[in-house]
Structure 1
Amino acid sequence: MAWSEGQALSPSNLNNVSGIVFNVKDPKFGAVGDGVTDDTAAINAAFAAAQPLGNTVFFPAGVYGISSTINIDKHVTFRGVESGTTNAGSEIKALSAVDPMLNITADDVGVQDLYFRGTGAGTGVYYNGTAAGLSACRASNLVFMSLPIGLLVDKTIASIFENIRTNLGQLRFRNGCTSITIISCYPANVVGGSGFKFENVRYLTLTGCAADGNDRYGYELDSSCESIVLTGCGAEVSGFGFCQTSGETIGIYNCFGF
């Protein structure tokens, strides 16, 4: 491991981590994590060191400022420390307008246990499969603040998104996404838009999700969506709970909205 920082990985942090772990605060990379310093170069250096494939870039608890997009074009996992009652967690903070904050163009990229804070514009994490398409991606335990689009997923297949929350930010899937699983995600308070927005997606399931306080709809599906199933989902205090403009084989089961 690349490891010289006072906060060691705990057994719980190491659960499900494969390969070598590269700590962005290692002196070789130099991240500070104070919310003021620009840590962009340090994060990019840790990512470069984490190649070849399958390794983890680890963010100890702290606030990591970035001034430009972090481009992830190799199979790695970006992992932080989820906030809790005794720790503040790991935050990536835009120091200026950064759009997107993470731009992912490789298969099998994971983003876990991180908090993203924007400046009121742009996208947090972009799974950008617009060229060749992406597969086997995963994102879990993420929070997005002050970002109109927290998570944007384009042309991605066979991937899982779980326990993702936003305040003022949409979760958006489009352009041929297929075989996507969405579990316990919660977009809230989107201004002028919907909590979830789906455009030209197929074979997608949502389970145990909620979308509250959004101006337009809780869940918006366009006419090109097919084989979408929502189970046990809810929408409260949104313009309308669920909006489906035709489409085929859309199933809504045990859901609630007002």
Structure 2
Amino acid sequence: MFNFEDTRYNRQEQMPEWGKERQEKLKEAKVAVIGAGGVKSTFLMALVAGGIGNIRIIEFDTIELSNLNRQVLYRTDDIGRTKGQAALTTLTRLNPDINIELIEEKISENNIDNLLKDWDFIVEGGESPAGRNLVNEYCLQHKKPFTHASAQFSYGYAFSVVPKEKSACFACFFPEDHTRPEHTGAVPVNVLSTSLAGSIGAAEVFKWFLGYQDRMLTNKRLCFSSLLLSGEFTVEQQSRREDCPVCSIHYNN
């Protein structure tokens, strides 16, 4: 019989693949999360609930009514507040034992090193292709692992990049996005797909710090359709592109 004591992490510590020793390691984890929107709402709640000890949220946007169908960190009376402040309130109430820092800035070439240099793992979330490409290049240069999770319509996916293993980078997965500087604008999306993508992405972070790096979604992405209820998750393989204009520079140096 399991002894489910009334402690915050007891249920996951009883899992043989998790345990108390690995839970203790999570206290030292340092994760920088760029953005706190739809996918990142579920992503952040999972990291905080699970005990990732140190989290930096980088978010500059303001809450709007149209956010609330999927950005589960926020409530109707949060409309008009900055997402960062509202997220900090919700997440601190969820788990006051976590050290959460808030940076209300837009990430750029001028501040990216200052924002990310002291953090072990990056959750990528640029608001545009240019922002995502900037983070991709920075992480490749500084050998920082990162996860990218996204959702649109009823579709979503997640994958990770581990530069020390010379895995496929963001530009390998999306060579056209690498040359497209601007976002195409708002797209239809629902809470089912954002929550699934956020949960899958959060699992990548936990794998890294719990010692399951070999099971991460590198050189492949896990895809799903949340509304069509196909009953299937698919894995799309993606080898590193030898001619990639981004990672080929950093991996060959």
TM superposition score normalised by structure 2: 0.28
Higher fraction of helix: 2
Higher fraction of strand: 1
TM superposition score normalised by structure 1: 0.28
